[in-house]
Amino acid sequence: MLDTASRPFLEVAGLESWYGESHILHGVDFNVRRGEVVTLLGRNGAGKTTTLKSIMGMVGKRKGSVRFEGTETIGLSSDKIARLGVALCPEERGIFSSLNVQENLMLPPQVKPGGLPVEQIFELFPNLKERLSSQGTKLSGGEQQMLAIGRILRTGATLLMLDEPTEGLAPVIIEQIGHTIGRLKAQGFTILLVEQNFRFASTVADRYYVMEHGKIIDSFANSELAANMDKLHEYLGV
Amino acid sequence: MTAQAITSSAAIDAAKRRDEMIAFAVMALFLLVAPAIIYPFFLMQALCFALFACAFNLLIGYVGLLSFGHAMFLGLAGYVSAHMAKTGAVDIGPLHLHFGPVDPVLAIVCGVAASAVLGVITGALAIRRQGIYFAMITLALSQMIYFFCLQAPFTHGEDGIQGVPQGKAFGLIDLSHQTTMYYFVLAVFLAGFLMIHRIINSPFGDVLKSIRENEPRAISLGYKTDQYKLAAFVLSAALVGLAGATKSIVAQNASLTDVENAMSGQVILMTLVGGLGTFFGPVVGAFIIIAMQNYLAGFGQWVTVIQGAIFVACVLAFRRGIIGEIAHRLGLSL
C-alpha cells in the first residue's frame, strides 16, 4: 500500500473540458500533495478557473481523470465531490445576498469532521463577527471574500480551491488573506490557488504550475521562482 | 467594540422578529373580530385563497420556481375532500372501499394527501427544468389534471360535486354553524401560515433561498438541490391542497373553476399584488382580489379589466407589491 504522504492528494491527468461546443481544457496534468499550497498561474483565458470548476464538476462536459485521495471523481456530480471534502471559493465569491453573514456561514453542510469551529473563523476574520446580521449584499468586497473563504472552512473540506482571492481588494486585505492562507496551511489544509498576482502567490505557494491555452506548460517550486522570473514574465506578459 | 457589534447584530434580528410578531398579532386579532363587521362567508373564502397564495409564494418567493399550474392542487384536493365528505367511496381499479361520509377533518386530510401525491409526481417531472420550461411543464400537467377532473366519474364533470355536508369536525364541532366554521377555517389558515413561516426561517429555508439565488453554487457546496426543490414543491402542493380541501367544505361544493388555468393565473396575481417573497403580501393580495370579485361583481366582465389594470399598475409603479413596498419604505421585515 502506498504511503498516504507520498501519494498525491489530488491527481489530475489528461483533463479535458468543454463549455457547450467550446473546448477549453486540452489535457491538463498536475498533482497536489497533502498539505501543500499549489498555485496555478496564467494569463486571462488560459483555463485556470475552468480547471477548478472541472475538478468541482461544474462544467458541461469533461474527460480524463481527477483523483482525490485516490477516489476517481470524474463521473461524480458536483455535490458528491463536495461531500468528499473538496471546496471551491469562486472568483465571483457566490455570497447569497438575501442571507445574512451568519446564515451564509452556517449554510454549507458539514462534509467531514475537522472543520474549523466558528470561533476560529472569527479569529481569522474578525470583520465577519462584527457583521453577523448584515445582508450579503451590504458587505464590502473584502468582507465578501472573507465570508466566501470562511464558510468553506467550517465544512471540514480538506482541499480548498481559491479562485483569485485577492482580485480587486485593497493591499491591507490582500495581506490579511495571505496571512490566513499561511495559517490554514499550518493547520494542515491543502490549498489549490489560482492567481494572476504572482507577487502575492509567492508569499504563500510551495509550487507553481503555469497554464496556457488549456494546458500546463511549466512547473517549478517556490525556491526556483527567482531563477524562473524571466520565463514567468514571458508567460504572463507582465 | 466587537461586543457592541454583536449586540447590535442580535438587536437587528430581534427587531426583525418583533416586526413579524406584531404584524402577525395584528392580522390574527383582525381576523378574530372580523366576522362581526364583514360577511363571514366572504372571509372564509378569502382565508382559503390567502393560504393558497401563501403556499404558492413559498415556491415562487423563496425557491424562485414559477408554477403556472398550481390550481391543479387546489382543485384536486377540493374534489377529493368533497367526495370523501359526501360519499366516502374509493373505487380505484380492483379497490372498492365504502366508508360512507367521513369526518370533515378526515376529508380534508384526504384532500391534502391527494395533492401531496400529485405534488410528488408533477414535481419530480417539473423540477428537472428551470425558468420558463418549469412553468410550461406545470401548465401542461395542470391541463392534464383539468381534463382528468372533467372526465373522471367521481367529479361529476361540469356539474361538480354539490351539497357537500359540512358535518362535525372530530365528531364534536358542528361546522354547519357559520361562526364555528369561520373559526375552524381561521385555525386552519393560521396553522398553515405559521408552518410556512417556520419553513422559511429554518435552515431548510436558507438552503431554498440559496438555490433561488445561485443554484450551481448551492450544489457545489454539497447540496442535492433537486431534493430540496422537490421537497419545497410537495410542501407547497400539500398546503395548497389544505386550502382547496377546506374551501370545498366551506363552499359545500367542488367545481371545475378551482382546477382551471385561470385559477393558476389568479394566484400569481394575488401574490404579485400583495408582495412576492413577503410573509403577509399574499394574504393582503388574496383579500384584495377576492374582495374585488365579490364586491365589484356588479361590473360583470369589467372586473377582469379592473384586475388587469391593477396588475399593470402594480408591475409598473410598485413591483414589490403592497406589503413589499410598505416594508421597504418603513424598513420593516414583513
pLDDT of residue A1: 42
pLDDT of residue B2: 44
Mutual orientation of helices B40-62 and B178-200 as an angle, nearest 10°? Answer: 10
Kindly state whether A140 is in contact with chain B, defined as any CB-CB distance less than 8 angstroms: no
Q: Please indicate whether, in this complex, the C-beta atoms of A77 and B219 are within 8 angstroms of each other.
A: yes
Q: Would you give the end-to-end CA distance of chain A in angstroms? A: 45
Q: What is the pLDDT of residues A202-230, one digit of tens each?
A: 889 999 999 999 999 999 999 898 888 88
Long-range contacts of A61-64 (CB under 8 A, 24+ apart): A61/A17, A61/A18, A62/A15, A62/A16, A62/A17, A62/A18, A62/A25, A63/A14, A63/A15, A63/A16, A63/A17, A64/A12, A64/A13, A64/A14, A64/A15, A64/A16, A64/A27, A64/A28
Cα-trace Rg, chain A? 17
**Mean pLDDT score of chain A, rounded to an integer?**
90
Look at A125-129, B13-17, B31-35 and tell me which has the smallest mean pLDDT: B13-17
pLDDT of residue A2: 45
Q: Please indicate whether, in this complex, the C-beta atoms of A78 and B13 are within 8 angstroms of each other.
A: no
Question: Looking at the predicted structure, is the pLDDT value of residue B13 above 80?
Answer: no
Q: What is the pLDDT of residues B268-283, one digit of tens each?
A: 999 999 999 999 999 9
pLDDT band at B332 (very low <50, low <70, confident <90, very high): confident
Percent residues over pLDDT 90 in chain B? 76
pLDDT of residue B67: 95
Question: Looking at the predicted structure, is the pLDDT value of residue A3 above 60?
Answer: no
Distance, CA of A50 to CA of A45 (rounded, Å): 9
- Whether CATH 3.40.50.300 fits A33-57+80-236: yes
pLDDT of residue B118: 97
Distance, CA of B139 to CA of B239 (rounded, Å): 19
Q: Report, as an integer, the average pLDDT of A137-159.
A: 91
Please name the residue of chain B whose CA is at the shortest distance from the CA of residue A98: B209
Q: Name the more confident of B231 and A188.
A: B231
Enumerate the residues of chain B whose CB falls inside 8 A of the CB of residue A147.
Answer: none
Question: Looking at the predicted structure, is the pLDDT value of residue B228 above 50?
Answer: yes
Q: Which residue has the cell 400537467?
A: B141
pLDDT of residue B10: 63
Kindly state whether A88 is in contact with chain B, defined as any CB-CB distance less than 8 angstroms: yes
pLDDT of residue B69: 95
Q: Please indicate whether, in this complex, the C-beta atoms of B12 and A131 are within 8 angstroms of each other.
A: no
State how far residue A35 is from chain B, nearest Cα, in angstroms. Answer: 21
Q: Report, as an integer, the average pLDDT of A86-97.
A: 92
**Mean pLDDT score of chain B, rounded to an integer?**
92
Enumerate the residues of chain A whose CB falls inside 8 A of the CB of residue B3.
Answer: none
Question: Looking at the predicted structure, is the pLDDT value of residue B186 above 70?
Answer: yes
pLDDT of residue A6: 61
Q: Name the more confident of B334 and B247.
A: B247
Task: Copy the grid coordinates of residue B174.
Answer: 358542528
Q: Report, as an integer, the average pLDDT of B247-258.
A: 96
Residue spans per domain, chain A = 33-57+80-236
Kindly state whether A144 is in contact with chain B, defined as any CB-CB distance less than 8 angstroms: no
Topology (CATH level 3) of domain B11-330: ABC transporter involved in vitamin B12 uptake, BtuC (1.10.3470)
Q: Report, as an integer, the average pLDDT of A49-54.
A: 96
Kindly state whether A160 is in contact with chain B, defined as any CB-CB distance less than 8 angstroms: no
Contact between residue A194 and residue A52 where contact means Cβ atoms under 8 Å apart? yes
DSSP state for residue A110 in the 8-state scheme: P
Question: Looking at the predicted structure, is the pLDDT value of residue A72 above 70?
Answer: yes
Question: Looking at the predicted structure, is the pLDDT value of residue B304 above 50?
Answer: yes
Question: Looking at the predicted structure, is the pLDDT value of residue B71 above 70?
Answer: yes
pLDDT of residue B131: 87
pLDDT of residue B177: 93
Measure CB to CB from residue B9 to each of A79, A133, A155 and give the nearest one. A133
Return the top range by mean pLDDT from A40-44, A125-129, B42-46, B322-326. Answer: B42-46
pLDDT of residue A80: 95
Q: Report, as an integer, the average pLDDT of A120-142.
A: 88
pLDDT band at B294 (very low <50, low <70, confident <90, very high): confident
pLDDT of residue A216: 95
pLDDT band at B9 (very low <50, low <70, confident <90, very high): low
Residue spans per domain, chain B = 11-330
pLDDT of residue B1: 38
Kindly state whether A123 is in contact with chain B, defined as any CB-CB distance less than 8 angstroms: no
Look at A31-35, A141-145, B193-197, B304-308 and tell me which has the smallest mean pLDDT: B304-308
pLDDT of residue A238: 57
Question: Looking at the predicted structure, is the pLDDT value of residue A176 above 80?
Answer: yes
Indicate the pTM of the whole model. Answer: 0.90
CA angle B139, B144, B149 (to 5 degrees): 120
- Is the torsion defined by CA of B73, B78, B83, B85 positive or negative? positive
Distance, CA of B17 to CA of B9 (rounded, Å): 13
Q: Report, as an integer, the average pLDDT of A135-139.
A: 86
Percent residues over pLDDT 70 in chain B? 96
CA angle B302, B305, B308 (to 5 degrees): 155
DSSP state for residue A135 in the 8-state scheme: B
- ipTM exceeding cut-off 0.95 for this assembly: no
